């Protein structure tokens, strides 16, 4: 019997005001900019010829707003999944990158250069983040065998998931490209094998 193909179209939310300001969002939120709205509309167009069976979205508003634009005109069930929300950055949330480079220089350097050693009081580690995001994606694959699914998530959440499915250690993250706002990546599962398209 032929293995069923399951596709997860993994999308980062559109640009937000805090993205523009280089302000850490984490589990806080800022609104999509006009550009962010247009980015989501472009993604909607890219997915327009795909038959989508269901959507899964982070509980954070910027992801939900992006999903709403993507699925506009479709009668698609969307489930909110806490496991795919962005990394919790605790005391950094709402502050600019420049501010945190001054207030937490060691943690700031670790975040960018050696994510495996990133340890900020009140924040998640990259290992904790990867564990919950991969748990969420596994659940999506398990519940939707042979279907096409759209998942809207976040910058670091998507990046650690891609590292996992590329079988790369977290130390490889600085070498990986950052997912762009409203960019679509595809995780394809055939049998037990998952590849990134």
Catalytic residue numbers, as ranges? 13, 86
SS3 sequence of the chain: CCCCEEEEEEEECCCEHHHHCCECCCCCCCCECHHHHHHHHHHHHHCCCCCCCEEEECCCHHHHHHHHHHCCCCCCCEEECHHHCCCCCHHHCCCEHHHHHHHCHHHHHHHHHCHHHCCCCCCCCHHHHHHHHHHHHHHHHHHCCCCEEEEEECHHHHHHHHHHHCCCCHHHHHHCCCCCCCCEEEEEEECCEEEEC
Phi, psi of 77 (to 5 degrees): -70, 135
Phi, psi of 78 (to 5 degrees): -125, 130
Phi, psi of 193 (to 5 degrees): -95, 135
């Amino acid at each position: 019997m032929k293995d069923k193909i399951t596709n997860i179209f993994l999308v980062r939310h559109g640009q937000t005001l805090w993205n523009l300001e280089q302000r850490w969002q984490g589990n806080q939120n800022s609104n999509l900019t006009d550009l962010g709205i247009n980015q989501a509309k472009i993604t909607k167009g890219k997915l327009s010829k795909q038959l989508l069976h269901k959507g899964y979205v982070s509980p954070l508003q910027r992801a939900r707003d992006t999903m709403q634009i993507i699925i506009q005109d479709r009668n698609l069930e969307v489930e909110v999944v806490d496991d795919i929300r962005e990394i919790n950055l605790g005391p950094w949330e709402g502050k600019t990158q420049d501010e945190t480079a001054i207030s937490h220089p060691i943690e700031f350097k670790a975040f960018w250069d050696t994510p495996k050693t990133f340890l900020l009081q009140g924040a998640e580690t990259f290992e904790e983040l990867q564990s919950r995001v991969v748990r969420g994606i596994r659940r999506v694959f398990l519940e939707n065998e042979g279907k096409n699914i759209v998942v809207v998530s976040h910058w670091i959440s998507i990046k650690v998931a891609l590292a996992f499915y590329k079988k790369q250690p977290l130390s490889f993250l600085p070498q990986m490209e950052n997912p762009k706002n409203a960019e679509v990546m595809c995780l394809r599962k055939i049998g037990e094998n998952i590849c990134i398209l």
